Amino acid sequence: MKQKYYTILLTLVISAFFLTSCGSGISATSWPGIATDGETIFVSGGSKIYAISLNNTLKWSFPAEADNTKAFWAEPVIDKNQLIVGDYTKTLYNIDANTGKENWIFDGASGRYIAGALIVGNTILAPSTDFSLYALNFNKNQVWKPVLTKGALWVQPVSDEKTAYFPSMDHNLYAVNLENGVVGWAVPLGAAVLSKPTLDKGGYLYLSTVGSEVLKIQTSDGKIVNRFPVSKVGWSSPVINNDFVYFGDQSGTIYALNANNFSLLWKKDTGAPIIGSACITTKGLVWITQNNEVLAFDFDGNKLWSKTLTGSLYTSPIVVKDLIFIAITGGDSLVVALDVNGAEKWSFSIPK
């Protein structure tokens, strides 16, 4: 009962955080999504999507003209020079990644898009808050009937190219056959999941839950093979490097586990809650905290450097060609680029 009450309260708080109305328009109070194709950084934030080169040149923005009825918070995904991103007004967009021109929209969902889509081969998997996972091809046709769960979908799926795995706010994790959309199994997790699962090459999923646990799950049948309790709510997707799993929690603690048996290798207190996941560089792991700090640790848990930025940090950083890209909420800059030693290389501000 306590867990149920906590989940309801968390849902109300996050829902209020995600949207504030202002007249007929929408003002975003959420954190931006960030992705890359290796040459361009794509940032979805507020009413626009920005395409920024690695040397800090704005290539395009979508829509070209200001439109306050749009609100992009879901993480964009890129494949075949097509950018797929959903917005909070129930529309999924296919945008030319080179030009920023709209190819098509899909408006068949009755719910909003909070989580990013996933592209597997020629299939686009789009999770919606209407409790459904939609599957489209690049011609906008649905390839199978939407998978209906009993809760909103707030998390991007992951896939091994045969099966897609995704959690629902009904506290279950689902496995769906990509050929026909049939659910192979659904496993109860005991709590909601607010961050993307991580899939390793050995057939295991790792995910953090609102129930203050990190779980290791067998993809073949959904069996939970390991549990690790954390101090507070887990919003950080685990990351895997070699045979080690790294993640953070709302207490501000970073953990490193042996991926095979979930034994604790080390943990560090950062002093502030962690929502975003780490990114992996050549020197170690880079995290963001809710005191607006970027922290770097080596793989043994030794602190390498820290840097405080102006604004709020919620979005997981990404690494491209030894540059670390940080998306910022409510700061002077939308994106800051750091090198692997923490030195700022450039920052991008939204054009006036």
What pLDDT, on a 0 to 100 scale, did the predictor assign at position 24? Answer: 26
Per-residue pLDDT reduced to its tens digit, 297-324: 999 999 999 999 999 999 999 999 999 9
Beta strand pairing status for 303-308 and 293-297?
A: antiparallel
What H or E segment, with its residue span, contains residue 14?
A: helix 2-18
Per-residue pLDDT at 16 exceeds 80: no
Per-residue pLDDT reduced to its tens digit, 97-114: 999 999 999 999 999 999
Question: ∠170-174-176 over CA atoms, to 5°?
Answer: 140
pTM for this entry:
0.91
Mean of pLDDT over the chain: 91
Per the CB < 8 A criterion, the answer to whether 163 and 199 are in contact is no
Alpha carbon 196 to chain centroid, angstroms = 6
Per-residue pLDDT at 17 exceeds 60: no
What pLDDT, on a 0 to 100 scale, did the predictor assign at position 46? Answer: 86
What pLDDT, on a 0 to 100 scale, did the predictor assign at position 73? Answer: 84
Per-residue pLDDT reduced to its tens digit, 275-302: 889 999 999 999 999 999 999 999 999 9
Per-residue pLDDT reduced to its tens digit, 67-89: 888 899 899 999 989 999 999 99
What is the mean pLDDT of the segment spanning 147-151? 98
Which of left, alpha, beta for 89 (phi over 0: left; psi -120 to 50: alpha)? alpha
* CB neighbours of residue 220 within 10 Å: 12
Per-residue pLDDT at 20 exceeds 50: no
Band (pLDDT 50/70/90 cuts) for residue 4 is very low
Per the CB < 8 A criterion, the answer to whether 235 and 208 are in contact is yes
Which domains does the chain possess? 31-188 (2.130.10.10)
Band (pLDDT 50/70/90 cuts) for residue 30 is low
In degrees rounded to 5, what are phi and psi of residue 147?
-80, 120
Where b means 16+ CB within 10 Å and e means fewer, 299-323 reads: bebeebbebebebbbbbbbbbbeeb
